[in-house]
Amino acid sequence: MKKLILIIGLLVCIQAISAAENHKLTGVAIQGLFNVKEKAVRSEIKSKVKKSYSEAIVKSDIQAILGTGFFDNVEVEIDTTTWRLVFVVKEKPLIKKIEIKGNKQFSRGRLKDEITLKEKEYYDVAKLTESKSKLLTLYADKGYPDRTIEVYPTIDDVTHWMTITFLVTEGNKILVGEVSITGTKAYKSKKIMGLIKTKKKKVYKEETMQEDVKEIEKFYKNNGYRDMKVGAPVITYNDKRTLMNITIPLTEGPKFKIGKITVSGNTVYTTSELMKALSVKSGELYNEDKMVESRQILRELYSDKGYLHSDAEPVYNEIPEKDIMDVNFDIAEGSLVYLGNVYVDGLLSTKEYVIRREVTLKEGDVFSATKVRRSVEKIYNLGFIDSVEPQIQPTPKPDVMDLVLGVTEGKPGMLSAGAGYSSVDQLVGTLQVQHINLFGRAERLNLMWEFGARKQNYQIDFTEPWFLGKPMSLGLSVFNTQRIYDYSVAATSSTASTVVTSAYTESDRGGSVTIGPRLSDRLSLQFTYRYDEVDIFDIAPSVLPSLIAANVTNGVTSSVSSQIVWDTRDNIFDPSRGNRQSLLVQYAGGLLGGTNNFIKPIAKSTLFIPTFWKFVLSLNASAGMIESFDPSTDVPIYEKFYVGGADTIRGYQYRSEIGPTNGGKFMTVFNVEYKFPIVQEKKRSIMVGAFFCDVGGAWNSVNDFSWHTGTADNDMRAGAGFGIRFTTPVFPLRLDWGFGLNHKANEAPNQFYFTIGNIF
């Protein structure tokens, strides 16, 4: 019987709601408005006259009205006889005026700019609280810790306008008086005072004092005092309450050296492997930074083998009578973790497989933190990704983790126009269209036109990084370059060569095809076929005899090159660690045809070493030689080696101040650069400064090579200087000033270079 009554009651309710839903509204009214226009409210609601009443629509209307920010509350009245709907609103007061009284140190305008509340806006209690807090902080930062601020809001009942009055009591400006340290025994108080930023006659700031305490603790704990404590600072005031004297008490405790270091709980790694990795060593003073670093090193070692839940807790055994502390790293290895799914978030135009194929860790593999880091580096090396945020997420299975890569894309393509100046080509204009993520597939297309009084260059380049879906690149290039060169005529060992400007014009037309299979994540090969047609014309009469004697003629070079590259750089655009080793051998002529027959091996080794902060030491060495074979009797001038200029030894002119006049058959160059970031954006360097030193030379044969630096014909030359590098969305730019250290008489002592591309 009870169930029957309940069912009947439910049916009646449903019928009543259904009946209500079928009634048309005869009116919709808004009550409680003062300053808000009725039209503004009606534009937000969907309940309209002659439309059916709907409970869901009314609830939505209430949320929409509250969403305007003009009202504190909305209630609804419905007359079921006439079906007239009324929204009764409680309107927020309109701030008509904000007054500030009692202020002397800051103008009313300055204080009004600071607060969040503004005139002609509707009152918000949260903004009022925030405004008061901002004013209190402003005064405190300027040395008024006793300041008080009271707020008085008043409302006109007729207009519903509000006047808000901030009453400021500033109090005295209080500066730091004497600052003292008590409890020091091992160090003089002056030494500890030098660590802190809270100084006499400065404004006291609580956050600065907290940082000072941390700095004192860090100093002591990195110098053997693991148990040292810094007490709460004691603050007293002078009679006029204009100075605060601060006393910082500390307890040094005993000074410890590291005694015996052991590890326990390890089965994955041997004890010797773990001990070798630790940065803390026996016999050293206790150093908390090294202890934290050692703990992190152990975690990373285990993470590299898939033990993501591992930990290494240092357990200390103090022996005060010997001032020694034994340390045992108690290792909890946990279990192996495997990679579940890889997800890529944030892509807009890039195909997902473009990112996935750069991930060295595959689904189902044992999780490796090293492979995750390398995957992030490879994604950055695509060139069009601004940021990569890897996140490890748990799954229902405790031994399986998912990897989520949050990716932010940069600008993949750009039309650019510009101008640059170099000592070789002088003023050159550039018009370039480049896209490094064509069709979202990481394909690269580059169309470039360079034009100037001494250089004309047309170039088209295309690169497919995964040819036929394999880890193998395909590169196609077509070019047509015409360049005016100077020519250096005969020099003695003590005098500079005579340089003839605009001595001849060289035209180089051709193209190349490159296949680059990647054998592993670090090792790759490159095979290139290149075809060049070189014409030399507009020869100045004064250099014609020298060029004829040097057998400088037009020619065709048909060549193949094989190159092997080992590359461990973390970022190919702005490396901070790793190295790149390469060996290239070019073979021209013979069965390949052409008029030039030679073999040309070039070896290059580059090393990037991180130092302190983000300073990076870069070392580079390169060497090359070229020899002709029958039927050629010599190597053409345009295939020989030239050093000097922006890309080899800075501080000297290209082609005219180092090595033989007609180029060398053997070359070696050494470069050292010390780079540091000047401007960074999104953790990437936009502007980089560099100090550099270059040494090297070119010779007619290996037998002429000399390690000596000087001005003699066979001596190497050295240069030094500084420069700035800019990273642009299209290409890197270099500004270098080089000073030659081994110039001959009458040679310019320094050179300025504006160049596109990295030196190595």
- Bridge partners (DSSP) of residue 582 are 565, 604
With respect to residue 15, please indicate whether it lies within any of the assigned structural domains: no
CATH number for the domain that contains residue 559: 2.40.160.50
- Bridge partners (DSSP) of residue 547 are none
CATH number for the domain that contains residue 63: 3.10.20.310
Among 409, 425, 445, which residue terminates a domain?
A: 409
The three-state secondary structure class of 281 is: coil
With respect to residue 539, please indicate whether it lies within any of the assigned structural domains: yes
Q: Quickly state the pLDDT bin for 46 (edges 50, 70, 90).
A: very high
Q: What pLDDT sits at residue 12?
A: 42
What DSSP designation does 188 have? -
Q: What is the pLDDT of residues 636-687, one digit of tens each?
A: 988 999 999 888 999 998 877 898 888 899 999 999 999 999 887 766 778 8
With respect to residue 535, please indicate whether it lies within any of the assigned structural domains: yes
More confident call, 501 vs 623: 623
CB 402, CB 340: distance < 8 Å: yes
Q: What is the pLDDT of residues 502-555, one digit of tens each?
A: 888 889 999 999 999 999 989 999 999 999 999 988 888 888 877 777 666 789
Strands 71-79 and 229-230: unpaired
> Domain check: are 198 and 64 in the same one?
no
With respect to residue 9, please indicate whether it lies within any of the assigned structural domains: no
User: Is 60 exceeded by the pLDDT of residue 255?
Assistant: yes
pTM for the predicted model, two decimal places: 0.69
> Domain check: are 504 and 527 in the same one?
yes
CB 680, CB 686: distance < 8 Å: yes
> Domain check: are 394 and 424 in the same one?
no
More confident call, 34 vs 491: 34
C-alpha 128/C-alpha 134 separation (Å) is: 10
| Lookup: tokens for 651 | 């501080």
Could you give the strand order of the β-sheet that contains 400-409, starting from the edge strand earlier in sequence? 338-345, 400-409, 385-394
What is the per-residue burial (b if ≥16 Cβ within 10 Å, else e) of 186-208?
Answer: ebeeeebbeebebeeeebbbeeb
- Bridge partners (DSSP) of residue 531 are 511, 558
**Cis bond before residue 249 (omega within 30° of 0):** no
| Lookup: tokens for 172 | 């005295």
> Domain check: are 150 and 279 in the same one?
no
Among 384, 409, 434, which residue terminates a domain?
A: 409
> Domain check: are 272 and 419 in the same one?
no
User: Is 80 exceeded by the pLDDT of residue 15?
Assistant: no
Q: What pLDDT sits at residue 418?
A: 61
Q: What is the pLDDT of residues 177-231, one digit of tens each?
A: 999 999 999 999 999 999 999 999 999 998 999 999 999 999 999 999 999 999 9
> Domain check: are 438 and 565 in the same one?
yes
C-alpha 702/C-alpha 330 separation (Å) is: 59
> Domain check: are 279 and 376 in the same one?
no
User: For residue 358, what are the domain limits?
Assistant: 338-409
> Domain check: are 521 and 469 in the same one?
yes
The three-state secondary structure class of 96 is: strand
Among 370, 389, 409, which residue terminates a domain?
A: 409
> Domain check: are 286 and 378 in the same one?
no
With respect to residue 11, please indicate whether it lies within any of the assigned structural domains: no
Please state, rounded to an integer, the average pLDDT across all residues of the chain.
Answer: 89
User: Is 80 exceeded by the pLDDT of residue 488?
Assistant: no
C-alpha 320/C-alpha 315 separation (Å) is: 16
Q: What is the pLDDT of residues 291-347, one digit of tens each?
A: 999 999 999 999 989 999 899 999 999 998 889 999 999 999 999 999 999 999 999
Mean of pLDDT values over 720-734: 79
Say how many CA atoms lie within 13 Å of 456 toward its Cβ: 7
- Bridge partners (DSSP) of residue 462 are 445, 476
Number of domains in the chain: 6
With respect to residue 486, please indicate whether it lies within any of the assigned structural domains: yes
C-alpha 393/C-alpha 343 separation (Å) is: 10
What value, to the nearest 5°, has the Cα angle with vertex 64 and ends 61 and 68?
145
With respect to residue 598, please indicate whether it lies within any of the assigned structural domains: yes
With respect to residue 5, please indicate whether it lies within any of the assigned structural domains: no
C-alpha 175/C-alpha 198 separation (Å) is: 10
What value, to the nearest 5°, has the Cα angle with vertex 349 and ends 347 and 351?
75
> Domain check: are 640 and 706 in the same one?
yes
Mean of pLDDT values over 492-499: 57
User: At what angle are helices 288-304 and 206-221 packed, to 10 degrees?
Assistant: 80
CB 482, CB 496: distance < 8 Å: no
User: Is 80 exceeded by the pLDDT of residue 22?
Assistant: no
Q: What letter represents residue 169's amino acid?
A: T
Strands 161-169 and 523-537: unpaired
Q: What is the pLDDT of residues 600-639, one digit of tens each?
A: 999 999 999 999 888 999 999 999 999 999 999 889 988 9
C-alpha 600/C-alpha 529 separation (Å) is: 14
Determine how many CB atoms are found less than 10 A away from the CB of residue 369: 20
> Domain check: are 219 and 127 in the same one?
no
| Lookup: tokens for 542 | 């004064």
> Domain check: are 48 and 189 in the same one?
no
Q: What pLDDT sits at residue 645?
A: 87
C-alpha 539/C-alpha 213 separation (Å) is: 75
